[in-house]
């Protein structure tokens, strides 16, 4: 039995990508972006503050880094909580010592339930990303669109009110999205999203409610991925971040500015045996004359001013 010819018809098949979310282009062929003061590498340091419920639902899948043992999994619950009680403050002190202005992704439920923490961040004039409601409220394919719309709205409205200003950025819990998530973000006033990691520069993203910009936040050199999943040593993580900066700076000499998003988790890197490694990374990056350290929003504004892609 042969297949009908219509089986092979796919209206989205074309050169490049099989969608219209963004245009296909090679990074090396795009117009060069020039960062302020002739810097070659824009570095944004993202600290993720997350709440993992003890009684997680696991819909549609158990979230990575969530509860792993039968309820009540206090071992993993308290380890994650360590980051919001202890590790975050060590990270903030390290940022201050090295003149780093971090971007902080925070679950809106955590911001609501820890007023002392959100107050500390607001007093520092920290740029906040909405990290969804909590790490067990995922956005996923097949989710009811109205349910997801309510979840996006509740998450953003809560954090906007607590921050006292509109939050421009978004990072989905587990970086998981439905087909509707980007449209809902643009509908609710979000300027940029850090979920997609398929580039070394920001890029414009089309939605049904106007443009959105993807700000890639690399998973390949994030602390949790390298140390927690790949089981590399802390010293190896330091070397990998340095190697990434070395390569991107050299590439920028030939092709224009590059961006490095450094993703951190205080329950991981804020441990007493690891915080010195964060200090080493920050000292190296901030000591490079080619580096422009900025928040994600500041990088986005410079990019938008120069890019029409």
Domains of the chain, by residue range, sit at 34-306
Looking at CATH, the fold of the domain delimited by 34-306 is given as TIM Barrel (3.20.20)
Contact between 194 and 181 under an 8 Å Cβ cutoff? The reply is no
DSSP collapsed to 3 states, 176-202: CCCCCHHHHHHHCCCCEECCCCCCCCC
**Can you say how many angstroms the Cα of residue 123 is from the centroid of all Cα atoms in its chain?**
22
Q: What are the pLDDT tens digits along the chain (309 aa)? A: 677 877 777 777 777 787 889 988 999 999 999 999 999 999 999 999 999 999 999 999 999 999 999 999 999 999 999 999 999 999 999 999 999 999 999 999 999 999 999 999 999 999 999 999 999 999 999 999 999 999 999 999 999 999 999 999 999 999 999 999 999 999 999 999 999 999 999 999 999 999 999 999 999 999 999 999 999 999 999 999 999 999 999 999 999 999 999 999 999 999 999 999 999 999 999 999 999 999 999 999 999 999 864
How is 20-57 classified by DSSP, letter by letter?
A: SSS----GGGSPPP--GGG-SEEEEEEEEE----TT--
| Nearest one of 123, 81, 121 to 102, comparing CA atoms | 121
pLDDT score of 308:
66
Contact between 250 and 273 under an 8 Å Cβ cutoff? The reply is no
**Alpha carbons 216 and 209: distance in angstroms, whole number:** 21
* Pairing of β 203-207 and β 210-214: antiparallel
129 DSSP β-pair partners:
105, 169
Helix (H) or strand (E) holding 260: strand 258-264
Q: The whole model's pTM is what?
A: 0.94
Token pair for 304: 């938008």
pLDDT score of 227:
97
**Can you say how many angstroms the Cα of residue 60 is from the centroid of all Cα atoms in its chain?**
21
pLDDT score of 1:
65
pLDDT score of 217:
97
| Nearest one of 283, 219, 288 to 252, comparing CA atoms | 288
């Amino acid at each position: 039995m042969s297949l009908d010819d219509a089986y092979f018809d796919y209206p989205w098949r074309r050169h490049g990508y099989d969608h219209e979310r963004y245009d296909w282009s090679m990074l090396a062929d795009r117009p060069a972006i020039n960062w302020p003061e002739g810097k070659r590498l824009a570095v944004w340091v993202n600290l993720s503050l997350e709440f993992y419920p003890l009684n997680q639902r696991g819909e549609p899948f158990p979230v990575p880094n969530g509860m792993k043992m039968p309820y009540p999994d206090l071992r993993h619950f308290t380890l994650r909580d360590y980051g919001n009680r202890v590790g975050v403050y060590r990270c903030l002190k390290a940022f201050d010592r090295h003149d780093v202005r971090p971007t902080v992704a925070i679950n809106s439920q955590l911001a609501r339930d820890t007023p002392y923490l959100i107050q500390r961040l607001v007093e520092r004039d920290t740029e906040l990303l909405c990290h969804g409601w909590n790490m067990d409220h995922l956005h996923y394919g097949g989710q009811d669109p109205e349910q997801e719309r309510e979840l996006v709205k509740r998450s953003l409205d809560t954090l906007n009110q607590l921050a006292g200003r509109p939050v421009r950025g978004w990072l989905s819990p587990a970086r998981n999205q439905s087909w509707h998530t980007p449209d809902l973000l643009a509908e609710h006033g979000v300027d940029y999203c850090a979920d997609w990691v398929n580039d070394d520069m920001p890029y414009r993203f089309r939605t049904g409610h106007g443009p959105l910009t993807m700000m890639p936040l690399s998973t390949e050199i994030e602390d949790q991925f390298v140390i927690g999943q790949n089981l590399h040593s802390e010293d190896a993580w330091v070397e990998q971040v340095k190697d990434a900066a070395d390569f991107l700076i050299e590439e920028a000499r030939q092709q224009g500015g590059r961006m490095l998003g450094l993703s951190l988790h205080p329950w991981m890197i804020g441990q007493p045996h690891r915080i010195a490694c964060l200090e080493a990374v920050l000292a190296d990056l901030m000591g490079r004359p080619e580096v422009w350290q900025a928040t994600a929003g500041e990088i986005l504004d410079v990019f938008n001013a120069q890019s029409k892609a």
